[in-house]
Amino acid sequence: MVSYHGRLVEITSRLDFVWKQQALRELTDMSECRQYNTQLLKNILPDHVATYFLSEDRKGEDLFSKAYENVGVLFASIPNFTQFYSEDVNRGMECIRLLNEIIADFDELLDEDRFTCIEKIKTIGSTYMAASGLNPTEKDAEDAHAHLCALVDFALEMKARLEDVNTHSFNNFRLRVGISHGPLVGGVIGAKKPVFDVWGNTVNEASRMDSTGATDMIQIPKETAQILNFRGFRLQYRGRIAVKGKGEMDTYFVVGKRASSRSTFSRQPSTYNSLAAVVYGMVQARKKQTIKRSNTTVRRERPRKISPYDLSNSQGAPISLAGGISTSGG
């Protein structure tokens, strides 16, 4: 009887252990599946919109729509891509591959910390659409137009990336950009394949700034130019142009940034690094620490020489950076 009872306890314990392990595996699988679905949803929708749809208190039939007061909208197109594209089977595949490489390079810029306020809306052929200020943070509350400056910086970086593509693909693609800012409405449309989009006069105006713009230029309306002028951007007055649905408008070109306003941003690694990249980064960091320690030892042994340059700076001599606004016309 005692032997039977002991065996029964052992079997029960074994089954309990197996069931616990099975339940633990199922919970882990559920957690991984939820994380995968969350990441997939965030790849389709902006983070704050995805959070809304993932919230537990949301009703199943609720849709997302919101009015925004201050949003920057960018349209960037490659006008001469249509001349490059061909309907030939082999040629067409090569064209799509190259266009995908260009768009992927633009998307990669959004992984940088300084461009976290920018959301890609969609691509229409060779036209790239993005918006900034859709999910304002505490930093944006201090400067309501900081996201607009980031959007212009993003456009400048897009031009640089396209030049890199031209270098290794032996092409001569050119970017034409239009930017505007103001109020708009954003929301999710579609049930089977939900898509986040924005509507409003600001969107139409940004699209017109692109379509009426010039190659290699970033065209902006007067209201946007007034904001960027005080934030270190060099502007060139284009003049009054006819804009469909708007009449005649004063527009400006963003030439670049003043030297005194350039910020030094380091390239931020993507959050989707492989294991090999992580290990490589750890090895490089260890090497840097070793070199730094050896340099510190050498500095302790050698007395520091004071140059006349150090003496002049120690007396508080200011260092001026030249910069100005280039305007012409009007």
Q: Is 208 a catalytic residue?
A: yes
Q: Which of 244, 288, 292, 299 is catalytic?
A: 244
- Alpha-carbon gap, residue 158 to 87, rounded angstroms: 27
Residue type, 226: Q
Residue among 106, 192, 203, 98 at smallest CA distance from 156:
106
Residue among 154, 143, 76, 144 at smallest CA distance from 115:
154
Angle between helix 2-44 and 47-54 (nearest 10): 140
Backbone angles phi, psi at 315, to 5 degrees: -90, 10
Residue among 121, 141, 134 at smallest CA distance from 66:
134
**Residue 118 and residue 94 in contact, taking contact as beta carbons nearer than 8 Å:** no
- Alpha-carbon gap, residue 159 to 163, rounded angstroms: 6
Q: Which of 174, 208, 238, 257 is catalytic?
A: 208
Tokens 């092409």 map to which residue?
171
In the DSSP assignment, the letter for residue 268 is P
User: Residues 6 or more apart from 275 whose CB is under 8 A from it?
Assistant: none
Residue among 202, 285, 284 at smallest CA distance from 246:
202
Residue among 86, 72, 224 at smallest CA distance from 148:
72
How does DSSP assign 5-72, residue by residue? HHHHHHHHHHHHHHHHHHHHHHHHHHHHHHHHHHHHHHHHS-HHHHHHHH-TT--TT---EEEEEEEE
Q: In this structure, what token pair is assigned to residue 15?
A: 């089954």
Catalytic residues: 208, 244
